[in-house]
Structure 1
Amino acid sequence: MTDIAPIHSLVAQVMGDLGSPDLLLPPGADPHDFALRPSDADKLANSDLIIWVGPELTPWLEDPLNALCPDR
């Protein structure tokens, strides 16, 4: 799972034929004020790996990730 399209593209290239990552932020959405839906929270909870730029770009993702991994 990646948060934004540019990171998704990089991760997809690294993964190659192993699969494709999911993209959390829909194309065209503003990463600064996106609102996480319950279905998005479910996707995060079921992800094996989450690649996240950080709170500077996607601050709405910080609290959900802290809830999933309080010791990070």
Structure 2
Amino acid sequence: MKRVLSALIPTILISEIIAITLMAATWVLLSALHASTGMLIGGEIVTMLGVAVLAVIIFRRAMRIDIEAVPADD
């Protein structure tokens, strides 16, 4: 459980920073192009899917690093 928490906390923090930055950038770009509300929401959904994929990648890398750093108890 400690391994999961030690990988999950940085993943959540990094993902939150990425999400805020990318969603703000998406909103600004689509607003500058005078996109409709549906297009704005669609862009935000696509951005959130990208952030979810990045979160999974970050979590898996953090778990791998934690597993390699601490040998398993035998």
Q: Normalising by the residue count of structure 2, what TM-score does the alignment of the two structures yield?
A: 0.28
Higher relative contact order structure (alpha carbons within 8 Å, sequence separation ≥ 6): 2
Return the index of the structure with the highest Cα Rg. 2
User: Of Structure 1 and Structure 2, which has the larger fraction of its residues in helix?
Assistant: 2
TM-score (norm 1): 0.29
